[in-house]
Structure 1
Amino acid sequence: MKTVIIIPTYNEVENIDRLLPSVFNNDVDILFIDDASEDGTSQRIKQWMDRSERINLIHRPMKLGLGTAYVTGFKWALKRGYQYIFEMDADLSHDPLEIPNFIKKAQEGYALVIGSRYTRGTISVVGWDFHRLLLSKFANKYAGTVLGLNFLTDITSGYRCYHRSVIESIELDRIRSNGYAFQIEMVYRAYKKGFRIGEIPIIFYERNSGSSKMNRKIVREAALMVWKLRFGRWK
């Protein structure tokens, strides 16, 4: 199946050379969405593009957010006939060795496969302090309870694989959320459309370099958004 990995970037130049060789071990294409990085990220990606036709880049003129980056990437992927569409972080927190496991799970009939840090009652995170772990666990429990998604353990995870049918069914131009809220909203909309959603266990590694995308605004957005989704007011 034709597969693309969508990777949003903002000041990730130190990670590009380490990330791409690992991703290339899989038969996939790669699309970077760069939000006007100031550290030369786009230039480094273009150097790799000279070596391989499997690498693609959309350069945006300013920092526009994670959600809009993925929506841009989804539209690009649908137009080019990809069957499996991945989300992956550029900061090496998501292990590319898991890509075949996502595809295997998808081929079992799951239209959305989420890489979970919390399957089987465990916490598979390296490098987080207790406060960050508590926030993540609470966010998942809170959103899952409000939206009826407690059969999943990690709906905020940013490592996931969609079958194109899920993306095609969602009105992408109506998506307004970013960060955690975007990940939750996409799962909820897939669930409401009746798609089968599954999880595979992953180990999450905290970034070693680059700029973290987590902030209080993202957390507040997610907390409010789940209620708007629940009552059909998130348009």
Structure 2
Amino acid sequence: MHSKINEAIYGVPKFLSEEIQERKTKYCLCIPIINEGERIHKQLESAQLHGIDKLTDIIICDGDSTDGATDISILKNLGVNTLLVKKDTGKQGAQLRMGFWYALERGYEGIITIDGNNKDSIESVPLFIQKLDEGYDFVQGSRYLEGGKAINTPKIRHFAVKFIHSPLISLTARHRFTDSTNAFRCYSKKYLTHPEVKPFRPVFVTYELLAFLSVKASQLGLKVGEVPVERKYPESGKVPTKISFFKGNFNLIKILVNNLFGKYNP
């Protein structure tokens, strides 16, 4: 096991890397989390059950959780390859910049991402691997494609995805995407290192990077597509999300409009 503090460089936050194992696979699976507790443990158990930890190196991109869920011995037993812990400012966008930078420095040819709240069908990872092997540069997971499943999706969330978010992203991308809020997706090394992408910029703090990367690949004429996935919300109780109803959704719409007008272009 190798532990290292990575000092901040422009566009990449300061972070701690705990390498449990050496790089083993061509692609990696980056999972951004913050205080996901048992949800991330159940998700990793499912990954092991379906052999995902053998197909891709699993990298946890932690926002400096305080709930004990990232105990290194627990993660090791759950098949995690590396734990990255952000020790700097920023939210999901900063966690992704940290994960992408680490993955590219380590030599992965593609990066798959998935939320760490156990809502997504982690067993669908092989579909993304297949697309990367076929030369795709950006692939969006969609619960609305044939073969996908949207289970217990809150009505307001379903409406927003189908009639606001996805149409705006599709308009900006000049390519139709059906489930653009879904963070279950993949990116090729070619896409992330393209000179007109430059993902390592401080402007990407929250959801800006997800929105930007949803549209830039097709704008550049790179190979893009979708694969069917399942997204399942709990039948009852609090919906696992980091987006607050009023402020969070307002900021999300603002990001989509900025994205439409090219505000995140380098």
User: TM-score with structure 1 length normalisation?
Assistant: 0.86
Residue in structure 2 matched with residue 41 of structure 1 by the alignment: 69
Return the alpha-carbon distance in structure 1 between the equivalents of residues 104 and 231 of structure 2: 28
**Structure 1: which amino acid aligns with 2:190?**
S
**Is 1:222 the equivalent of 2:252?**
yes
Residue in structure 2 matched with residue 14 of structure 1 by the alignment: 38
**Is 1:185 the equivalent of 2:212?**
yes
Checking the alignment, whether the CA contact within 8 Å between 2:90 and 2:206 is kept in structure 1 is no
Cα RMSD (Å) of the superposition?
2.6
Greater relative contact order (Cα 8 A, min sep 6): structure 1 or 2?
1
Once the two structures are TM-superposed, the CA of residue 39 in structure 1 deviates from its matched residue by 1.4
Residue in structure 1 matched with residue 95 of structure 2 by the alignment: 69
Number of residue pairs aligned between Structure 1 and Structure 2: 232
**Is 1:109 the equivalent of 2:138?**
no
Q: Equivalent of 1:137, from 139, 162, 165? A: 162
Identity of aligned residues (%): 25
Alignment of 1:76-225 (within 5 A): 76-120=102-146, 124-144=149-169, 146-169=171-194, 170-174=197-201, 176-177=203-204, 180-206=207-233, 212-215=241-244, 216-225=246-255
Distance 1:74 1:161, change over 3 A: same
Return the alpha-carbon distance in structure 1 between the equivalents of residues 240 and 166 of structure 2: 27
Q: Which runs of 5+ in 2 are unaligned?
A: 1-24
Counterpart of 2:98 in 1: which secondary structure?
A: helix
Q: Equivalent of 2:59, from 21, 24, 31? A: 31
Cα deviation per residue 1:115-153 (whole Å; 9 max; x = unaligned)? 112225x98311222122112212334413541444221
Cα deviation per residue 1:18-42 (whole Å; 9 max; x = unaligned)? 2223323122111112122221122
Checking the alignment, whether the CA contact within 8 Å between 1:13 and 1:40 is kept in structure 2 is yes
User: TM-score with structure 2 length normalisation?
Assistant: 0.76
Once the two structures are TM-superposed, the CA of residue 210 in structure 1 deviates from its matched residue by 8.8
Cα deviation per residue 1:167-219 (whole Å; 9 max; x = unaligned)? 11121233624555432211212222221110011111125889521223332
Distance 1:185 1:226, change over 3 A: same
Counterpart of 2:46 in 1: which secondary structure?
A: helix
Q: Which runs of 5+ in 1 are unaligned?
A: none
